[in-house]
């Protein structure tokens, strides 16, 4: 639950992104306290993913700002923000098909480690190379430690990923590829995790597993922003729900409160969707 006095972990003010004549994200304000799980819902095209892109540096806002742990991080690159502890997964899934499960997840761990290395452009890599040549045993031990770390993360997914650890990601099922992406985000040891429809295209069993994992992460104190069309999951997991429509925030509050808000019902009906998720699931 949010603690009123604590400074928010993430704070977004007046965030706006236009594509030609369309305002995809329109003056959004958002505060997220440490340990909170906030869901963002809304009809297709409401601007949810664009908002994630702005927060994670994949896209730059036309107006407004984003601060993380009290620092203005507006417009910083995704790599910088990842190193700062902002991890995300993508709506359509992004894994390196030719890399193994292990290597896909190791990328997350390496991104984190690069953060503590010198940021000087040339000296950094040279120093790294020097260290690698001088202390190969250390480097090997470090790599081994990371591989163990990855195994612990993969074990969160039961027997879904561990037995496939050396398989290339392209050979995995769709649901497993999505799990690999979440594992990679976790290997970053994030302080903020953004999940864009983590259960899209998953069957009810897979959805229940994902819901349990997100609940576990929340119980461990991770701060989470979740975009999700499956309202049951949203209602169960969220401390707070934000509803977007046509780029704007149209409602915010406890799950049940927004679910019965006439503005929210109208937004969904106005788009001809009595349940965006249901239509999408049957289309998938
Ligand atoms: N790069 C882009 N160029 C032009 N228009 C874009 C771009 N990205 C998003 N849009 C438009 O911005 C609006 C918001 O899109 P966005 O993907 O953020 O919606 P969403 O709420 O995530 O929808 P969904 O539930 O379908 O994933 C849509 O009208 C979309 O077509
Ligand atoms: Mg989206």
What would the pLDDT profile of 10-51 be if each residue is shown by its tens digit?
A: 999 999 999 999 999 999 999 999 999 999 999 999 999 999
What burial class does residue 173 get, using C-beta atoms within 10 Å of its C-beta: 0-12 exposed, 13-18 middle, 19+ buried? exposed
Tokens of 118: 């010198």
Note the pTM of the prediction, 2 decimals: 0.88
- Per-residue pLDDT, 139: 74
Q: Are both 226 and 246 inside the same structural domain?
A: yes
Check residue 283 and give its pLDDT.
40
DSSP alpha helices (H): ranges in the chain? 48-55, 78-84, 101-114, 123-134, 136-154, 174-187, 204-219, 231-237, 255-259, 262-270, 276-283
- The three-state secondary structure class of 192 is strand
Q: Are residues 167 and 50 in the same domain?
A: no
Phi-psi region of 130 (alpha: psi -120 to 50; beta: other; left: phi over 0): alpha
Neighbours of ion ligand 2 (CB under 5 A): 48-49, 91
Q: Using the mean position of ligand 2's atoms as its centre, give its distance from the Cα of residue 137 in Å.
A: 45
Residue 2 backbone class (left: φ over 0; alpha: ψ -120 to 50; beta: rest): beta
Instruction: Mark whether 6 and 36 lie in a shared domain.
Output: yes
Report the nearest atom of ligand 1 relative to the CA of 47: 18
Q: Does 183 share its domain with 198? A: no
Instruction: Read off the CATH number of the domain in which 272 is found.
Output: 3.40.50.300
Q: Answer yes or no: do 3 and 28 share one domain.
A: yes
Identify which of 25, 39, 44, 45 to mutate to test ligand 1's pocket (most ligand atoms within 8 A of the CB). 45
CA 240–ligand 2 middle distance (angstroms): 19
Q: Pick the ligand that lies closest to the CA of residue 46.
A: 1
Full pLDDT tens readout for the chain, 284 residues: 444 557 899 999 999 999 999 999 999 999 999 999 999 999 999 999 999 999 999 999 999 999 999 999 999 999 999 999 999 999 988 899 999 999 999 999 988 877 654 444 556 667 766 666 666 677 788 889 999 999 999 999 999 999 999 999 999 999 999 999 999 999 999 999 999 999 998 999 999 999 999 999 999 999 999 999 999 999 999 999 999 999 999 999 998 899 889 988 888 877 654 444 444 443 43
Residue at 127 is within a domain: yes
The CA distances from residue 245 to 41, 71, 76, 237, 264, in Å, are 9, 28, 26, 21, 9
Q: Which of 170, 188, 206 is the last residue of a domain?
A: 188
pLDDT of the residue at 143: 87
Residue 262 · residue 230 · CB < 8 Å: no
Per the domain annotation, does 90 fall within a domain?
no
Query: Mapping DSSP to helix (H, G, I), strand (E, B) and coil, where does residue 25 land?
Result: strand
Helix axes 101-114, 174-187, angle to 10 degrees: 20
How many angstroms does the Cα of residue 45 sit away from the middle of ligand 2? 7
Report d(CA 17, CA 248) in Å as an integer. Answer: 11
The answer to whether residues 64 and 16 touch, using CB atoms and an 8 Å cutoff, is yes
What's the CA-to-centroid distance between 238 and ligand 2, angstroms? 18
Spatial contact of 36 and 26, defined as CB atoms under 8 Å apart = no
- Which of the ligands is closest to the CA of residue 41? 1
Domain finish residue from 188, 212, 244: 188
Q: Which atom of ligand 1 is nearest to the CA of 244?
A: 21
Pocket test for ligand 1, best of 15, 40, 47 (most atoms within 8 A of CB): 47
pLDDT at 112: 80
Say if residue 218 is in the same domain as residue 254: yes
Count: domains in the chain = 2
Residues 208 and 254 in one domain: yes
Distance 248 CA to ligand 2 centre (A): 14
pLDDT of 125 reads: 66
Ligand nearest to the CA of 42: 1
Residue nearest to atom 17 of ligand 1 (CA): 49
Please state, in angstroms and rounded to a whole number, the distance separating the CA atoms of residues 16 and 249.
12
b/e 76-91 (16+ beta carbons within 10 angstroms → b): beeeebbbbbbbbbbe
One domain, residues 59 and 194:
yes
Q: Is residue 20 part of a domain?
A: yes
Distances (CA, A) of 242 to 48, 102, 121, 226: 10, 35, 40, 10
In eight-state DSSP terms, residue 242 is: E
Residue 6's pLDDT is 72
pLDDT of 275 reads 45
User: Is 274 in the same domain as 194?
Assistant: yes
CA–centroid distance, residue 182 to ligand 1 (Å): 22
Look at residue 23 in the predicted model and tell me its pLDDT.
98
Residues with beta carbon inside 6 Å of ligand 1?
19, 22, 24, 42, 44-50, 91
Domain containing 241 equals 1-85+190-284
How far does residue 27's CA lie from ligand 2's centre (Å)?
Answer: 18
Which domain-ending residue is among 152, 168, 188?
188
* pLDDT score at 282: 39
Q: pLDDT by residue (tens digit) across 91-113?
A: 988 899 999 999 999 999 988 87
Q: How far is CA 248 from the centre of its chain?
A: 21
For residue 93, is it within any domain? Answer: no
């Amino acid at each position: 639950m949010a603690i009123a006095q604590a400074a928010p972990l993430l704070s977004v003010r007046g965030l706006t992104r236009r594509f030609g004549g369309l305002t995809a994200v329109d003056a959004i304000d958002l505060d997220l306290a440490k340990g909170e799980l906030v869901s963002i819902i809304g009809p297709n095209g409401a601007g949810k993913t664009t908002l994630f892109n702005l927060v994670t540096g994949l896209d730059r806002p036309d107006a407004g700002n984003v601060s993380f742990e009290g620092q203005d991080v507006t417009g910083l690159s995704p790599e910088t923000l990842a190193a700062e502890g902002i991890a995300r997964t993508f709506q359509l899934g992004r894994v390196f098909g030719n890399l193994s499960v292990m290597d896909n997840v190791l990328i997350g761990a390496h991104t984190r480690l690069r953060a503590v290395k010198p940021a000087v452009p040339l000296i950094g890599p040279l120093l790294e190379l020097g260290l690698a040549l001088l202390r190969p045993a250390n480097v090997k031990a470090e790599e081994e430690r990371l591989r163990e770390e990855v195994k612990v993360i993969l074990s969160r997914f039961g027997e879904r990923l561990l037995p496939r650890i050396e398989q290339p990601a392209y050979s995995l099922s769709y649901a497993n590829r999505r799990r690999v992406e979440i594992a990679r985000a976790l290997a970053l040891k994030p302080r903020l995790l953004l999940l864009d429809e983590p259960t899209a295209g998953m069957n009810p069993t897979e959805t229940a597993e994902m819901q349990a994992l997100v609940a576990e992460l929340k119980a461990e104190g991770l701060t989470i922003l979740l975009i999700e069309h499956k309202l049951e999951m949203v209602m169960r997991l969220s401390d707070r729900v934000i509803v977007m429509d046509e780029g704007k925030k149209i409602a915010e509050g406890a799950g049940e409160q927004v679910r019965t808000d006439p503005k929210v019902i109208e937004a969904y009906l106005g788009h001809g969707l009595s349940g965006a998720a249901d239509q999408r699931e049957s289309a998938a």
